[in-house]
Amino acid sequence: MQAEEEDEVSVEEYVARSSFTGNDNDQLSFSSGDVLLVHAKTSSEWWWAELRGVKGYVPASYLLQGAQEGEEEEEEEDPWQHKEYFGSYGTLRLHLEMLSDKSRTETYRQVILSNSASLRNKVVMDLGCGTGIISLFCAQLAEPSEVYAVEASSMAEYTRQLVKQNGCEELVTVLQGRAEEIELPERVDVLVSEWMGNCLLFEFMVESVLRARDRWLKEGGVMWPSSAALSLVPCQADSYYAETMAFWEQPYGLDFTPLQPLAQQEFFTKPKFSHVIEPEDCLTAPCDVLQLDMYTLQVKDLEEIKGHFHFCVEKSGVFHGFSAWFKVQFESLQRGGAPVELNTGPNSEPTHWKQTLFMLDRPVSVHAEDAISGSISLRRNPVWRRHMTVTLHWSVNCSQVGTKSFPMWR
């Protein structure tokens, strides 16, 4: 707790005075007006900063010390960070990332395609439609009576053009605004959305989906996805550990180990997003630790969600941490029809979500047949509504016990 507060005090907020596109994996891309958290002024030209949970170098000259006066102050205090959130979805970068994710986009296409007959004459709402891809699939592959494509960011203006350009304006109506605020002329048969974030819930767009369900879904209507699960596995993370921690043991033949506590604080306090775990790095079979039913889940349930796990180690190795990912299921509109699944785990097609890595403070050697059990809780930040803290408790063979909380992102 103390460490977290100190961490927050040392960062400064800056506002981007113009857009910037990073030219490698170390540089952050951002848009004019984005609020960035500057963690370190590494040189006079390049600073180490964070935007929406992603860190990278940014050119200092693009930033204005901000979030102090008038308008920006509101931004700073908005627990939903709407301006920053929808601002980033007003640019192409994130939409390009999502659309380029073939497994994600093809899964939604498959859902529409395999249910095309049942979608005939149905009313559909596509919540957070972005560039409108799911709505366009509906219009192209099925014959719904109406698709309401709801998008809060300024991308909606382009989405309208894309709908027209593709000859779908008869069927698809783009509504610009937050799903919580827009009005529809009727209730819908199907509520489809791609709302999943890192570790399933990060960003908490799911709250908007649940509110829209309660307000706009017909009795007996269908939610897509219909259920979601968070999976967890104890894993090795050799190269990440070597690069961030073991590195200090003898760089250039010198002993830099006094920096290791600092390294632990800097690299292992928060989860690592966008980590790709190889199947062979999994020490056990994965376990579903949380299961959400999109029909019965309530907004208040999101405040704290708990799950348990029990793993049996399959091969000896080094237990560096836990890796998490999600899967979602889309039920068939036909009785007895097979559901479609999107799995973002290490044994499935890679997606832009990759996996999330939670590093232990100290690695633990484990052997085949060892038992790793414990619990996980996802506690939503009471102030910053898009953030949460993931707490893991674990024991190895009921003896070596550990517990660690990971803020995501505050």
Nearest-angstrom CA–CA distance, 63 and 271: 26
CA 1 from centroid of its chain's CA atoms: 24
Which span sits near ligand GJV by CB under 6 A: 41-49, 203-211, 279-287, 315-323?
A: 203-211
**Residues of this chain, 86-115, that bind ligand GJV according to CB under 6 A:** 86, 89
Nearest-angstrom CA–CA distance, 274 and 202: 13
Does residue 225 touch ligand GJV according to CB under 6 A? no
Tell me the Cα Rg of the chain: 22
Which span sits near ligand GJV by CB under 6 A: 3-11, 149-157, 239-247, 304-312?
A: 149-157
Minimum separation from the CB atom of position 33 to ligand GJV (A):
15
Tell me whether strands 217-224 and 46-51 are parallel, antiparallel or unpaired. unpaired
Residue in the structure block whose two tokens are 């659309």: 99
Q: What is the DSSP letter of 167?
A: T
Structure tokens of 363?
């690695």
Choose which of 63, 123, 152, 237 interacts with ligand GJV (CB under 6 A): 152
Choose which of 53, 130, 221, 321 interacts with ligand GJV (CB under 6 A): 130
**Residues of this chain, 161-190, that bind ligand GJV according to CB under 6 A:** 178-180
Contact criterion met (CB below 8 Å) for 344 and 326: yes
Which span sits near ligand GJV by CB under 6 A: 8-16, 43-51, 195-203, 323-331?
A: 195-203
Amino acid symbol at 79: P
Please indicate whether residue 203 is annotated as part of the active site.
Answer: yes
Choose which of 196, 292, 294, 378 interacts with ligand GJV (CB under 6 A): 196
Does residue 384 touch ligand GJV according to CB under 6 A? no
Please indicate whether residue 169 is annotated as part of the active site.
Answer: no
Minimum separation from the CB atom of position 169 to ligand GJV (A):
20
- Is the torsion defined by CA of 43, 46, 50, 55 positive or negative? negative
Residue-wise DSSP of 77-132? H-TT-HHHHHHHTTSHHHHHHHHH-HHHHHHHHHHHHHTTTTTTT-EEEEET-TTT
Q: Which is nearer to ligand GJV, 179 or 230 (CB)?
A: 179
3 state DSSP class of 22:
coil
Nearest-angstrom CA–CA distance, 47 and 266: 16
Does residue 34 touch ligand GJV according to CB under 6 A? no
Q: How many residues bind ligand GJV (CB under 6 A)?
A: 19
Q: Which is nearer to ligand GJV, 99 or 141 (CB)?
A: 99
Q: Which residues of this protein are in contact with ligand GJV, per CB under 6 A?
A: 86, 89, 128, 130, 150-153, 155, 178-180, 194-197, 203, 205, 208
